[in-house]
Amino acid sequence: MIGSHWIADLSGCDPEFLKDEAALNRLLENAIAASNATILKSVSHKFGGEGGVTGLFLLSESHASYHSYPELNYIALDIFTCGDCDPRRSGDHLLAAFQPIASHVNFLRRDVPRVFSGKLVAR
């Protein structure tokens, strides 16, 4: 297995929190630390007016990102890690912090498809 990918759609979140760029970045930093990943760089952008925030964290182990939509009380989250990191730990941290009314969470194992004699081999 190459890595693990935690993807979540959270709705019913506090719209004021979803507009707070500094608070969202601190939360993601803490969540990333919970999975034992290492942040190499980060960048975020607050959209004008009542708009949301988008943020991206380049990790030694891959990446994490978020996109908030305060007008919809919604945030999209994506954490992909490889090695010994477990993005589900980050996810648990984020779910506890956002306390969404509804959530849709996917957890994927990422791996290289195996090819033998030019044909894809199932695992």
pLDDT for the residue 111: 86
The pLDDT score that the predictor gives to residue 120 is 61
Nearest to 3 by CA among 109, 114, 92, 112: 109
Domain range enclosing 26: 3-121
Sequential pLDDT tens for the chain (123 residues) = 889 999 999 999 999 999 999 999 999 999 999 999 999 999 999 999 999 999 999 999 999 999 999 999 999 999 999 988 999 999 999 999 999 999 999 999 988 877 666 666 665
**Is the pTM of the predicted complex or chain greater than 0.85?**
yes
Q: What per-residue confidence (pLDDT) applies to 100?
A: 98
Number of domains the chain is built from: 1
Q: Give the catalytic positions in this structure.
A: 62, 67, 82
SS (H, E, C) the chain: CCEEEEEEEEECCCHHHHHCHHHHHHHHHHHHHHCCCCEEEEEEEECCCCCCEEEEEEECCEEEEEEEEHHHCEEEEEEEEECCCCHHHHHHHHHHHHCCCEEEEEEEEECCCEEECCEEECC
CATH number (domain holding residue 86): 3.60.90.10
